[in-house]
Amino acid sequence: MRNGRPLLPWVVWGVAVLAYAAAVVNRSSLAALGPATQEHFGIDATTLSMFAMIQLIVYAGLQIPVGLLLDRFGASSMLLTGTLLMVVGQVVMATVSDVWLAILARVLVGAGDACTFISVMRMLPEWFSVRQLPVISQFTGLIGQAGQLVSITPLALAVASFGWASGFLGVAGVGVLVLILGCLVLRDRPGAGTVIERMTGRLGRISRTARPLGADEPTGAFTVPPPATEMMPVVTAPRIPGLGFWARARRLLSIPGTRLAYWMHFTSPFALNAFVLLWGTPFLTGGVGLDRAQAAGLLNLVILSSMGAALLLGPLSSRFVERRVPMYVVIVFAIVAVWLTVIFWPGTPPMWLLVVLVVVMPLGGPASMVAFEVSRSHTPRSFSGFGTGLVNTGGFTSSLIVIVLIGLVLDALGAGSPEDYSLHAFQIAFTVQIPFWLLGLTMIFVEQHRTKRWMREHGRRLR
């Protein structure tokens, strides 16, 4: 406890990851409420799919702008702004009956969600050592996934028991709690103040004496900068108004390791996102023929498998830094193999195969977190927010396109509504994932080769 407060990094991380878990609850709050949403607003399945599509469009489209704002205004400000947007969105969702206002509410939720994850990821390197980051990042993802468990069962029960408005106002209330805690606790880095301290202009002793875990002892007041977590030096060129976006984008995209991280995030999570956010329940109930209780049980197993994988991948990626990309590729091949088995299975897939699917497919979520470790290793610190946003765009862009294509194929096959769903139609529709796996894996192999060559030429080693 001397010369600082070692518990403070954990407290800051705890509040930040709570904000992320709350964001996941907001993001997936309609996951198990499809029929209730249709009944509440009197909409068909096509209109229902717009909720997920528009939310993902907003989320993916804002990743790079939010990354730029993150580098300028700091992680805590963007994290709290995102939480506020989601609170407003859920209040609107709870209180309106017009479908277009409800879609506006999902736009607000998507915008707030876009601010949250990359803000948390930007904050972590300021508080934890390089060796701790892979484990902390995976635990962040693990706890965030717990938010999906809340949205699948407890939120659905709350809406069924207490009504639509009460359920969503409860989600908004959690957001208000996160806002209060965030204003009191969150700091961008050791030596920086909380939002309240910055507003009052008075920096408290805890903030003044704070230091990151794993850092050398400070020599007095906090004068040692946060530890470098990237291989490349800090870019200190002055900001030129109007130059910003394209110059920074070209600078980032010229680094093969950043491009490798993008394609890694592009490739592994879209199957999971498409399944959990929209098409899992229709496939299991309308396609395979399971009842809703069985489908809910398998969806819960999806989340539990993802959380379990995070516990393993964090320590592994921390210990075997040089092998984290091959480990990632093995996971993607496993996901592809099990999905192809389900797609081409003659007749109804047996329950054991569905269990294998919902255990293996979720590995893509924690695996996509490895992309941020690759990005951290290659992105200059002054570009870290932009870089994180760019990488995070990959998985949600692929997820959005796959979700839309599955819906279009189902419509083309005359199976676009619940009464027309069929297993054969879903099996054909899910084949749209194959080109995305092929594209992603091809680009990963290409950029991995380029990254190795770039590192040899520059005398760099992974950290």
Residue 158 pLDDT class (50, 70, 90 cuts) = confident
CA distance 249 to 310: 30
Contact between 27 and 82 (Cβ < 8 Å) = no
pLDDT of residue 340: 97
pLDDT, tens digit (0-9, with 9 covering 90-100), for 310-359:
778 777 776 777 788 899 999 999 999 999 999 999 989 999 999 999 99
Does 401 share its domain with 330? yes
Does 259 share its domain with 130? no
Does 376 share its domain with 261? yes
pLDDT of residue 225: 38
Contact between 354 and 31 (Cβ < 8 Å) = no
Is pLDDT of 242 > 70?
A: no
Does 75 share its domain with 32? yes
Contact between 278 and 54 (Cβ < 8 Å) = no
CA distance 123 to 13: 8
User: CA–CA distance from 77 to each of 13, 64, 86, 442 (Å)?
Assistant: 15, 16, 14, 38
Residue 160 pLDDT class (50, 70, 90 cuts) = confident
Residue 227 belongs to a domain: no
**Count of structural domains, the chain:** 2
Instruction: Write out the DSSP string of 155-169.
Output: HHHHHHHH-HHHHHH
* Mean pLDDT computed over 409-423: 83
Which residues span the domain enclosing 423?
244-463
Does 196 share its domain with 274? no
3-state helix, strand, coil in the chain (%, to 5): 80, 0, 20
Residue 10 CB burial class (10 angstroms; 0-12, 13-18, ≥19): middle
Does 322 share its domain with 186? no
The residue out of 209, 235, 253 marking a domain boundary is 209
User: CA–CA distance from 386 to each of 128, 144, 261, 312, 383 (Å)?
Assistant: 20, 22, 13, 28, 5
pLDDT, tens digit (0-9, with 9 covering 90-100), for 61-75:
888 788 888 888 888
* Mean pLDDT computed over 372-382: 77
CA distance 12 to 17: 9
Which residue did the predictor score with more confidence, 139 or 82? 82
Q: Provide the 10 A C-beta neighbour count for residue 225.
A: 14
The residue out of 182, 209, 236 marking a domain boundary is 209
pLDDT of residue 330: 95
Residue 232 belongs to a domain: no
Give this prediction's pTM: 0.73
Contact between 115 and 22 (Cβ < 8 Å) = no
Q: Provide the 10 A C-beta neighbour count for residue 26.
A: 32
Residue 229 belongs to a domain: no
- Give the chain's mean pLDDT: 82
User: What is residue 463's three-state secondary structure?
Assistant: coil
Does 21 share its domain with 134? yes
pLDDT of residue 293: 83
pLDDT of residue 359: 95
pLDDT of residue 426: 93
Does 21 share its domain with 127? yes
Does 126 share its domain with 261? no
Residue 278 pLDDT class (50, 70, 90 cuts) = confident
Structure-token pair, residue 158: 């709350």
The residue out of 209, 232, 263 marking a domain boundary is 209
Residue 232 pLDDT class (50, 70, 90 cuts) = very low
Residue 220 belongs to a domain: no
Residue 215 belongs to a domain: no
pLDDT, tens digit (0-9, with 9 covering 90-100), for 387-397:
777 888 888 88
pLDDT of residue 458: 67
Residue 66 belongs to a domain: yes
Residue 236 belongs to a domain: no
Q: What backbone phi and psi angles, to 5 degrees, belong to 4?
A: 140, -175
Does 205 share its domain with 256? no
Residues 6+ apart with CB under 8 A from 344: 427
pLDDT of residue 238: 43
Residue pointed to by tokens 């040089």: 322
- CATH code for position 411: 1.20.1250.20
Residue 228 belongs to a domain: no
pLDDT, tens digit (0-9, with 9 covering 90-100), for 185-222:
999 888 888 888 888 888 888 888 888 876 543 333 33
Q: Which helix (H) or strand (E) holds 22?
A: helix 7-27
Does 276 share its domain with 127? no
Which of 71-85, 210-224, 410-424 has the highest mean predicted lDDT (pLDDT)?
Answer: 71-85
The packing angle between helices 45-73 and 384-412, to 10°, is 170
Residue 76: name the closest of 123, 43, 31, 29 by CA.
123
Does 159 share its domain with 203? yes
DSSP tag of 462: -
pLDDT, tens digit (0-9, with 9 covering 90-100), for 12-51:
999 999 999 999 888 887 766 766 787 788 876 667 777 8
User: What is residue 228's three-state secondary structure?
Assistant: coil
Is pLDDT of 427 > 90?
A: yes
pLDDT, tens digit (0-9, with 9 covering 90-100), for 279-296:
888 899 888 989 878 888
